[in-house]
Structure formats: C-alpha cells, structure tokens
Amino acid sequence: MLICSVCGFANPRGQTRCLMCSQPLLDAQSNIVPMPPPQALPIAKGMLKQRYRILFAIGQGGMGTVYLGRDMQLGNRLVAIKEMSQSGLSPQERIQAAQNFKHEAHILAGLQHPHLPSIYDHFEENQRWYLVMSYIKGQTLEEYLKAQGGKLSLGEVLEIGSFYVVCCIICIPIIHLSFFAILSLPISCAPQMDIFI
C-alpha cells in the first residue's frame, strides 16, 4: 500500500496518484520523487461547448477547478462546472483519468440525494474534461463552523459524519475503485441519512 502524504488515503501499490485527492504518490522503494502537476490555467470567462457561460471559480482541488456558470440553452439556469485538467499526466494516466471521469459522470447521474448535484452533461474541450451539474448553494464546513462560533451540536456532528461515511463507503469505492458488485444493489438514502440497501 502507498499512503498519501497529503490526505492519508491507503492506495494500492503501483498507483502514481492518490485515488482520493489525486496528488502524486511517492513509492518508498523508488528513488524518483514525482513532480506535482503544474497549476491548471483557469479558463477565461467565456463559453464552453457554445452553451455554458463561465461566471467565476467557486472552488479548487488537486486536479481542477469548479466554476459557477450559466446554461445559455436552458433558461440561463445556474450550473456548477467541474473542470479537470490533463496537464502533468502521462499518456497512460490520461487514458485512465478519462475512463475514471466518464465512469464518475455515469455513476453520479444515477445517484439521487438532496446533498448531491444532478448531472446534466460531460464533455472534453481544449484537453480538459468538464462535468456540468446542478448548482447547490451552500457553504463549506469551515464557513459553517465559523458562523456557529466554532461549535456544532451532537446532532449536527452525527448528521455530517453519517453523510461523510456514506460517501466514503459507497460513493468513493464505486467511483474510484470500481466495485461493480455494489452497483447492482438498489442503494438509496433517506433525508435523515438512513441507508437502505
């Protein structure tokens, strides 16, 4: 196993990037230290696919950026556009990343929960992949904690923790590790975070 120095996720030996956070992994038996991917150049305010107008960036992670945009063909609705850059990936990693990205889009399109966005579209443009989804207005856990004076009630901790556990147990293995057996199970979550299989 290779433990990611950024997020602590245990990755199978042979992985070059963390399955959880996409950061480069260092194999303890290797003398080569992988270089981090170059910063993705943010797309300029403009159009994608002659349909989606980019307004501004609303978040950034290890492999890309999420933008707030408008769907100019369907009522100017607000959308979130997840951009994943291919920069810094080897040809083999690009193939695997493209397969993972398409798989993620199809899996997410089949999941329904009030805290998960609906998937509208996915495509590649200018050597970057895009996932267009419903925009769910909210705040980060850090922002919420600050607004609550740095404290959460036990009920809030359990609710947030339950949702995180559901994502880790169900969503992440399906998306990143392709446990196809799980896909055949009818899984749904009630609003109070009860899991039904």
Show binding-site residues for ATP.
Answer: 82
| Closest to 65 in 3D by CA, of 89, 90, 40 | 40
d(CA 105, CA 102): 5
Residue 164 exposed, middle or buried by CB count within 10 Å (0-12, 13-18, 19+): exposed
> How far, in whole angstroms, is CA 125 from its chain's centroid?
18
How many Å apart are CA 7 and CA 10, to the nearest integer?
Answer: 9
Ramachandran region of residue 150, left (φ > 0), alpha (ψ -120 to 50) or beta?
left
Annotated binding-site members: 82
Q: Name the burial class of residue 68, with classes exposed (0-12), middle (13-18) and buried (19+) by CB atoms within 10 angstroms of its CB.
A: middle
